[in-house]
A and B are shown apart, each in its own frame.
Chain A
Amino acid sequence: MEALFTYGFLQRALLAGVFVAIACAILGVFLLLRRDAMIGHGLAHVTFGGVALGLFLNILPLGTALVVAILASLAIMKLKEKAGLHGDTAIGIFSSAGMALGIALATLAGRFNVDLLSYLFGDILAIEPLEVWLSIGLAGAVVIVILLNYRKLMYLTFDRDAAKASGVKTERFDILLTVLTAITVVLGMKVVGILLVTALLVIPAAAGLQVAARFKQALFLSCAVSFISVLVGLSAAFVFDLPASATIVLLAFVIFGVFFLGRRKKFF
C-alpha cells in the first residue's frame, strides 16, 4: 500500500482509476435502472474502431475515439427512437460495426500494434498527467450534472412518461447521459481497457442496487464499491504482480457476489 503513495506512476494510476470509476459508478446506476446496461459494452467496441482509426491516420487516438464514441452514442439513441429498434439491437449493430472497423484498419495497417493492444487491455500504470486531469474533470462534470438535475434524472429513470408530462426535457437528458457515458467509456478504456470498461459501469452499480433501499444509497454504495475495487485492486496487482485491470474487475465482481449473497441471506 505504501508504494501507492511513493511512486508517481502508481499515484497517477490511483487518481485516474478512482475518478473514472466514480464517474462510471454514478452513471451506471442510471444506465442499469434504464435497462441500458449494455450501452457501455457497445460503445467500448465502437471505441476500438475509433482508436484504430486514430492510429491508422496517425492522429490522436484518444481524441479520435472520443469523437467516434460520441457520434455512435447519439446514433444509437436516434436509431432506437426513429427506427423503432430495441436498445440492444441498436447497440449490437454499432458495436459489431465498430469492432469490424477496428479489425479492418488494423489489418490494413499490416499488424495489430502494441498501442492497439494496450487500449484493448488497458494500461493504467502508463497513465499520463493529462489523463489524470481529464479523469478528475470527467468525474467532476458527472457529479455536477447529477447534483443539479438529481430529481429530474431520478424521475425520468423511474417513470419517463410522467416525468415528460411534468415538463422534464427527457430527450435533452437522454443526450446528456449518453454523451457522458461515451466520454466515460473512452477515458475508462485507459484504466481497464476496452474489453473490461463495461465492468466499471455495470458491476459496482449492480452491487449497490442489490442492497440499497434509497436512490442516494444506491449512488453512494456504487461509488464505494468502485473506490474499494480500484484502491485494493491496484494495490493487490502491484504486490502480487497481477494485471491491474483484471484485478480491479475481479475484486468488484467479488464484492457484487458478497452483496448478492448477503441480500439473499437477508444480512442487508
Chain B
Amino acid sequence: MTEEKELVRVEEITFAYDSVPVLEEVSFSISQGDFLAILGPNGSGKTTLIKVILGLLKPSQGRILIMGQPIEAFREWSKIGYVPQKATHFDPFFPASVKEAVAMAFLSPKKRSAQRRKDEERAMEAALESVGMEAYRNWPIGSLSGGQQQRVFIARAIINSPELLFLDEPTTGVDAATQEHFYEMLHLLNKGQRITIILVTHDVGIVNKHVNKVACLNQKLVYHGSHDDFCQSEAFKALARGGHLVSHKH
C-alpha cells in the first residue's frame, strides 16, 4: 500500500482565550483521503482547533503546515473548503439565491470572460448536483430548511474542487433521517471525489459508520488513530461514560 500524502500537520499547538487555556500542545497529522472525526466534550477545543488550522485564530505556540507550507505562507485557499459551525445562523432575510450563495466562493471579479462564466456555471451545477440541491438553485437561501442549507454550504465549500473539506458540527439541529442522507453524501465525496474530510461532531454513530480516523480532544489530544482502535480505547469509554457522545442509527 502506498503512503498517502500528508495534507495537514499540527505541531505542538497551544491556544488560550485571554489567559484561559483551550488547547495544550496538540500534535497530529491528516493524510490525503482521510475521513477524520474530531471528537470531544463541550469546551474541549474542537472548533478552536479547526480555526487555528485554518489560520482564523493565531496560536500562542506551535505551528500549522498545510500541504507542506506554513499556514502564514499558504495561498492556495481554493484547495480548502470550510463550513463553519454557525453557517446556518445567517440572517434569514439575506437577499441571496442558492446560486448566489454558492457562487460567492469563486471570489473572481464581477467582469468575467464568457468561457469563465460557462466554466463557473458548470462547476456550480456539478457542486449542487453532488449535494442533491440542483432543483433548488433559484430558491432564496433563507427559505430552505437547516439540512438543505447545510447541503448548499457544502456545495459552496466544494465548488473549487478542494482537497480538504472542514465541517464543524454540520448536523446540529438536523433531524436523524436528514443526517443519514447527509453523511452518505459526505461518504461519497470522500470515496468518490477523494476529498479529505475533517469533521467536528458529537455523533459517535457517524464515527462508527464512515470515518477512518479519529482525533479525540479535551484541551490535550487524548487519542489520535484509526477508528477501529478508537472503539477499544480508554478515550472512547471515558467519553461514552460522560455522556459526551451521542449515537444515531445510521
A, B bound:
yes
Interface, chain A (partner B; CB < 8 A): 33, 147-152, 154-155, 158-159, 161-168, 209, 212-215, 217-218
Is B7 engaged at the interface, CB distance under 8 Å to the other chain?
A: no
**B161 to nearest A CB, angstroms?**
13
Q: Assuming A162-B83, A162-B156, A164-B56, is B104 touching A155 (CB within 8 A)?
A: yes
Interface, chain B (partner A; CB < 8 A): 51, 54-56, 75, 77-78, 80, 82-84, 87, 90-91, 93-97, 100-101, 103-111, 140, 153, 156-157, 166
**CB–CB A214/B100 < 8 A:** yes
How far is it, in angstroms, between the C-alpha of A155 and the C-alpha of B84 when the chains are bound? 13
**CB–CB B96/A214 < 8 A:** yes
**CB–CB A154/B107 < 8 A:** no
Give the nearest-CB partner of B100 in chain A. A215
How far is it, in angstroms, between the C-alpha of A152 and the C-alpha of B110 when the chains are bound? 10
Q: Assuming A154-B104, A159-B90, is B95 touching A148 (CB within 8 A)?
A: no
- CB < 8 Å neighbour of A218 from B75, B95, B156: B95
**CB–CB B101/A158 < 8 A:** yes
**CB–CB A167/B83 < 8 A:** no
How far is it, in angstroms, between the C-alpha of A168 and the C-alpha of B104 when the chains are bound? 11
Give the nearest-CB partner of A154 in chain B. B104
Give the nearest-CB partner of A155 in chain B. B104
How far is it, in angstroms, between the C-alpha of A161 and the C-alpha of B86 when the chains are bound? 10
- Residues of chain A within 8 A of B157, CB atoms compared: 162
Interface centre among A154, A158, A214 (most CB of B within 10 A): A158
Main secondary structure of the interface of A (DSSP, over half): helix
- CB < 8 Å neighbour of B109 from A148, A158, A163, A215: A148
15 A-B interface contacts by CB (under 8 A) = A33-B91, A149-B109, A151-B103, A158-B101, A158-B104, A159-B84, A162-B83, A162-B87, A164-B56, A165-B77, A166-B105, A167-B77, A213-B97, A214-B96, A215-B100
**CB–CB A217/B110 < 8 A:** no
**CB–CB B107/A215 < 8 A:** no
**CB–CB B110/A150 < 8 A:** yes
**A67 to nearest B CB, angstroms?**
31
How far is it, in angstroms, between the C-alpha of A151 and the C-alpha of B105 when the chains are bound? 8
- Residues of chain B within 8 A of A154, CB atoms compared: 96, 100, 104
Q: Assuming A151-B108, A155-B105, A167-B77, is B87 touching A213 (CB within 8 A)?
A: no
**CB–CB A165/B111 < 8 A:** no
- Residues of chain B within 8 A of A213, CB atoms compared: 95, 97, 140
**B146 to nearest A CB, angstroms?**
15
How far is it, in angstroms, between the C-alpha of A223 and the C-alpha of B84 when the chains are bound? 33
**CB–CB A152/B96 < 8 A:** no
Q: Assuming A162-B82, A162-B87, is B101 touching A168 (CB within 8 A)?
A: no
How far is it, in angstroms, between the C-alpha of A159 and the C-alpha of B156 when the chains are bound? 11
Interface centre among B96, B97, B140, B156 (most CB of A within 10 A): B96
- Residues of chain A within 8 A of B90, CB atoms compared: 158-159
Give the nearest-CB partner of A167 in chain B. B77
Give the nearest-CB partner of B156 in chain A. A162
**A205 to nearest B CB, angstroms?**
11
How far is it, in angstroms, between the C-alpha of A212 and the C-alpha of B94 when the chains are bound? 9
Not counting A158-B96, A162-B156, a sample of 10 additional A-B residue pairs whose C-beta atoms are within 8 angstroms of each other reads A151-B108, A161-B84, A164-B54, A165-B56, A165-B84, A166-B80, A167-B77, A168-B107, A209-B93, A209-B95
- Residues of chain A within 8 A of B100, CB atoms compared: 154, 214-215
- CB < 8 Å neighbour of B80 from A148, A158, A165, A218: A165
**A53 to nearest B CB, angstroms?**
37
How far is it, in angstroms, between the C-alpha of A214 and the C-alpha of B56 when the chains are bound? 29
Interface centre among A147, A148, A161 (most CB of B within 10 A): A161
Q: Assuming A150-B109, A151-B104, A159-B84, is B54 touching A165 (CB within 8 A)?
A: yes
Give the nearest-CB partner of B104 in chain A. A155
How far is it, in angstroms, between the C-alpha of A149 and the C-alpha of B107 when the chains are bound? 8
**CB–CB A151/B106 < 8 A:** yes
